Structure 1
Amino acid sequence: MKFALALYTSAEIKKETRFLVHFSDDLEKSFNNKKYGNDLMEIVIICVSPVFEQFFKPRKPKYTKDKKHVKSEGFEYNIEKCLEFDLKLDFEIFKNSTEIEAKRYLSLEILKSLETIESMKSKIKDFDLLAFRKDLENYFSLIEC
């Protein structure tokens, strides 16, 4: 399963959010060889800071079942069985937190956001959300969040 965070943050918190790239990469590597069903193979969570809100308004969750070629913002890629949804984080929490506190906060927000998958169960039928949630909780506990 591909699990990634697409990060859009403002320059004023660049230092505070530098760890997010490694956090996202590690998360993706940890879940790359896992499978939770046939209807969901990829999850992309978009994290947006207030400065970018005018450009990245929170959107409804989007599920793409069939293979699709995407051209966006200068990038080209294929998606299939992919759920994309926005996770609006509290800018002030990131701005005023240590890296460990920010990781903890992000981990909790990701776990809360799994409700999005639950709300899409009419489209995403073959997906073991309980096992995925448990693996995420275990992953977050191992990286000291």
Structure 2
Amino acid sequence: MNFGLAITFSIEVKNKYIITQFSDDIEKYFKVKSYGNDLKSIVVGIVCVSPNFEKFFKIKKPIYTKGKKEFSDEDLTYTIEDNLEYNLKLNFSEFQSSSEEEARKIVAKELLLSLDTLDSVKKKIKDFNWEQFRWDLEDYFKERNLI
């Protein structure tokens, strides 16, 4: 399964590079796992912007794409298949003032909490073991002392 973080941060966010490394590591962890046939990838948009820019970054409802869908943008074409995309917003002042370790813990906590907001889309995704996915995500965070 593909699991990745798409990061949108204001320029003044000091811990953004830590989250990029975190995203790469979590992607490797889930690459060898499978939870069913209806969901092959999850992309979580992590948004942390200064209050001046918050109005431009509203959190959208989760989007589930069943089957293959091709997108083209100028010279770039890409395909997604059985994909779930959703966003979560971090508290700017809390994240900005956190240490590197605290930043990882904030993201871990918010990722776990975000799974509880997916009830509407979970009904559309029949063949996916949400419980096992949550357990594996929690184990990943526990192994790294993030929860």
Residue number in structure 2 paired with 1:42: 41
TM-score (norm 1): 0.90
Residue number in structure 2 paired with 1:86: 87
User: Quick one: distance in 1 between partners of 2:90 and 2:99?
Assistant: 15
Kept in 2, the 8 Å contact 1:41–1:82? The answer is: yes
More strand by share: 2
Kept in 2, the 8 Å contact 1:7–1:46? The answer is: yes
Counterparts of residues 45-124 of structure 1 (less than 5 Å): 45-51=44-50, 52-71=53-72, 76-124=77-125
Residue number in structure 1 paired with 2:26: 27
User: Quick one: distance in 2 between partners of 1:58 and 1:19?
Assistant: 23
Kept in 1, the 8 Å contact 2:8–2:47? The answer is: yes
CA deviation digits over 1:86-110, x for unaligned, max 9?
Answer: 1111111110101111111110110
Q: Which runs of 4+ in 1 moved over 4 A?
A: 72-75
User: What is the SS of the residue equivalent to 1:80?
Assistant: strand
Q: Which AA in structure 2 matches 1:60?
A: K
Residue number in structure 2 paired with 1:141: 142
TM-score (norm 2): 0.89
CA drift of 1:75 comes to 5.1
Q: Relative to structure 1, is the Cα distance of residues 75 and 103 closer, same or farther in structure 2, using a 3 angstrom cutoff?
A: farther
Q: Relative to structure 1, is the Cα distance of residues 19 and 76 closer, same or farther in structure 2, using a 3 angstrom cutoff?
A: farther
Kept in 1, the 8 Å contact 2:71–2:79? The answer is: yes
- Equivalent residues, number: 144
1:7 aligns with 2:7: yes
Higher mean C-alpha deviation, range 51-60 or range 106-115: 51-60
Unpaired stretches in structure 1, ≥5 consecutive residues: none
User: Quick one: distance in 1 between partners of 2:49 and 2:69?
Assistant: 30
1:18 aligns with 2:17: yes
CA drift of 1:74 comes to 7.6
Q: Which AA in structure 1 matches 2:97?
A: N
Kept in 2, the 8 Å contact 1:38–1:127? The answer is: yes
